[in-house]
Amino acid sequence: MYKFKHQIGEFNTLPIFENWDYTTDEGGGVDKVLNNSFYAWAKMTPRVGGRTFIAGDLHENNQSTWIYDMEVFIRYTDNITSDSTMVWDNKRYAINYYSIDGEGKERFIRLYVTMTDNQLVTGGIITPTTPAYVYNYEGIGGESEVQANELINKTILGVFKDGLSKEIIFLGTPDDGQVKYTPAQGKLEFGISFFTGEKLQVQYI
């Protein structure tokens, strides 16, 4: 018996989900590095939520705060955990609550998310989901890797080589239709080398 029933047409938004690696630096602080990111079709509710009171009895003068901003349903994937983040409408959300519909036969994941930042970017061009920065590169000829400081630890929205969109992967060897992205190095690896003057465009946030 499943907890929720959904119409497939309700999954009509396409947020980005990000997974991070956390390490402790020499000063005891925590460094966060993007491990991977991916799109997932989602069903989103309006941004509503209950209130939790900070102190005292339930009284109109007491301070209170929202528990969550939005409820999100996606098809089940083991790539998302409670430590993942979600990017939608040029804002990043933390996941407060995570549950699976049907432990024995997973079908959907239910998330309560809270906005953590203001706008991620304020310039760039408009993509289907969010404004983005654009990195452009022109091939020298013979190279199969491109590395740039601008691309370090970014969420890549799209990679277009010679006008063709490439599938973004994080592990393995890319084939003709793919590009391997290493976030910590800002490096893109292609299955086919650039020819002289070939154009590359990368959309990122």
- Which range has the worst mean pLDDT, 16-30, 31-45, 124-138, 158-172? 124-138
Where does the pLDDT of residue 51 fall: very low under 50, low under 70, confident under 90, or very high at 90 and above?
A: low
Nearest to 127 by CA among 11, 8, 15: 15
At 100-148, the pLDDT tens digits run 876 555 588 999 998 887 677 766 665 555 567 889 999 999 999 999 9
Quote the pLDDT of residue 179.
95
Residue ranges matching CATH 2.40.10.270 in the chain: 8-115
Report pTM: 0.63
Counting every residue written for the chain, the total comes to 205
Domain at 8-115: CATH architecture: Beta Barrel (2.40)
CB-side exposure of 36: number of CA atoms within 13 Å?
10
Neighbour order of strands in the sheet with 42-44? 30-39, 16-24, 85-88, 91-101, 108-115, 70-75, 42-44
Where does the pLDDT of residue 2 fall: very low under 50, low under 70, confident under 90, or very high at 90 and above?
A: very low
